[in-house]
Amino acid sequence: MVSPTGGVTTFGSVSNDGSLNTLGVKPGQPLVGGATTANDGGYWLVDSTGNIYTFGNAAYLGGPSQLNPSLPPGGSNAVNLKKPIVAMSPTPDSKGYYEVASDGGVFTFGDAQFFGSMGGQPLDKPIVGISTTPDSKGYYEVASDGGVFTFGDAQFFGSMGGKPLNQPITGIAATSDGSGYYEVASDGGVFTFGSAKFFGSAAGSATSVVVSINPTSDGNGYTEVTSNGKAFPFGDATAGLTGTTS
């Protein structure tokens, strides 16, 4: 779990390899997300400008302000973002990652491949999340109204777009078999599509905004996480793990 100001708390097998707090770094913009490497030996943090911070065995592969890590940031080696970055998603081999902006623009780094985006396309609501397919040959974008947009080999299995929602969607996560995905709303509501299975939700229980959903590797559970750092496990997701904060 990552706080907007740079604190990191890790649970279970994920080692705590530090944070912006331990580095004494204050981000110029709030952190908007993060992701662990495939073996849980490190993690990336990302802020709303797309700056990437690496810990453990997570490799720095570039960001919008420094497209080529071997060149200095800024100038011709940078992108002028039209809208802020809202989420990131790594490739399964941890040798690349995607960043997505609220206008649907997608930025690829390392071995992450570009398959298209909603950048420049009309959107009813802003994009709030991105999730890579298990084979790294596609990805999903999700908007706050639940609309899902597929690229590469990502398949469309339905969405909450155009359907009534009590609260906006805040994230999306693909299933490990690549045949489904979850959407999660800010009130904890969970919506399943394709092979994704429903095991319950934090709707009615969460006292703060739910910001993400994280499926288990076997597809038989998931954890919802709130903005104040509370975790709600369902199915075979593990509850009650002791956290380490940095």
**Any idea where the domains of the chain sit in the sequence?**
1-128+136-155, 165-241
List pLDDT tens digits, range 72-115: 888 888 998 999 999 999 999 999 999 999 999 999 999 999 99
Q: Write down the residue that tokens 């690349």 correspond to.
A: 96
Comparing CA positions, the residue from 98, 84, 107 lying closest to residue 27 is: 84
Report yes or no: 34 and 45 within 8 Å, Cβ to Cβ.
yes
Comparing CA positions, the residue from 100, 67, 95, 68 lying closest to residue 83 is: 100
Comparing CA positions, the residue from 184, 180, 157 lying closest to residue 168 is: 184
Say which residues have a Cβ less than 8 Å from residue 67's Cβ, sequence separation at least 6.
Answer: 77, 78, 79, 109
Q: Which DSSP letter does residue 59 get?
A: P
pTM score of the predicted model: 0.93
- The more confident residue out of 13 and 21 is 21
State the alpha helices, DSSP H only, in the chain. 20-23
Which pLDDT does position 75 carry in this prediction? 87
Average pLDDT, the chain: 92
